[in-house]
Amino acid sequence: MAGAADRDKFATLRRARRVWAVAAIHGEAERLEALHEMLGERLREGDRLVYLGNYMGHGAAVGATIDALLRFRRQFMAAPGVFACDIAYLRGQQEEMWHKLLQLQLAVGPAEVLTWMLEQGLEATLACYGGDGETALRRARSGALELARWTNELRQRMQDRGGHVELMSSLRRAAFTEDGALLFVHAGIDRERPLDAQGDAFWWSSDNFADMDAPYAGYRKIVRGFEPEHCGIRIGPFSASIDAGCGFGGPLACVCFDGDGEEIERLEA
């Protein structure tokens, strides 16, 4: 388990009786709003909430999705006895790409990097902050100085959307319950590495996740919110995938787990 020095990378869900895990959203604001309505009716004392990344990308309502996350955070935090550490937001592939995009002037071959990002669905996020793929590629080919001006413009537009920068700054690589029973990740994990040495595996390693036949690092169950095949909710003895395809024609999934990693309830919107 990660130590206190990694608080900027990992979220600890303390004294959790139940944990609600929300799968990848991909800019589907209406589905998220509907899910929040259902969640609001079910939350109890001792419940914790973790969003498993990919709030951005693919869907057309990226800005509205971030706004909805911020509104529900205020609602969640308004309950008696709830603290900021009781809700966690993980960094997904889309948020990692956005972070890299804002530093694109430092990349080797920025146009090639950007082309790959656009193929992965990042253009929807660009549109949210006043950009587009064609302009982005032109800027990427125009030199580091011009590219830096463009990324600064994107940062300013993001700053103009109240709370967006702050939410993105709060993202964590993974979350776990205080007792070490449950681990929450975005897409996968490298079982050969300790938690604090995963690097990009949190976002890009998904091989054989559903086939885990033993606990990882003492955690009873690992829960992920994104998988490339979007195969729906699949709960195994040591792992759980809850990506039902939101952003790709499927619903937004959310699963409530007890302290042992057993499913209590599932929601789809």
Through-space distance between the first and last CA atoms of the chain, rounded to whole angstroms:
33
**Which residues, including other chains, have CB under 8 Å from residue 122's CB and lie 6 or more apart?**
56, 57, 94, 97, 98, 101
pLDDT of residue 7: 67
Read off the pLDDT of residues 164-204 as tens digits, 9 standing for 90 and up.
999 999 999 999 999 999 999 999 999 989 999 998 999 98
**Hey, what are 114's tokens?**
């950007």
Q: Which two tokens stand for residue 85?
A: 């550490």
Is position 244 within any domain? yes
Domain that holds residue 135: 96-160
**Is residue 167 one of the residues assigned to a domain?**
no
Residue with tokens 């656009």: 118
* Cα dist from 171 to 11, 44, 71, 122, 134, whole Å: 9, 24, 17, 18, 29
Alpha carbon distance 188, 198 (integer Å):
10
Q: Does one domain contain both 217 and 102?
A: no
- Are residues 228 and 252 located together in one domain of the fold? yes
Q: Residues of the chain whose pLDDT is less than 70?
A: 1-5, 7
Task: Count up the domains in the chain and report the number.
Answer: 2
Same domain, 100 and 203: no
Q: What is the pLDDT of residue 149?
A: 93
Residue 248 CA: distances (Å) to CA of 25, 95, 154, 231, 251: 10, 18, 26, 11, 9
- pTM of the predicted structure, to 2 decimals: 0.95
Which one-letter DSSP state was computed for residue 84? G
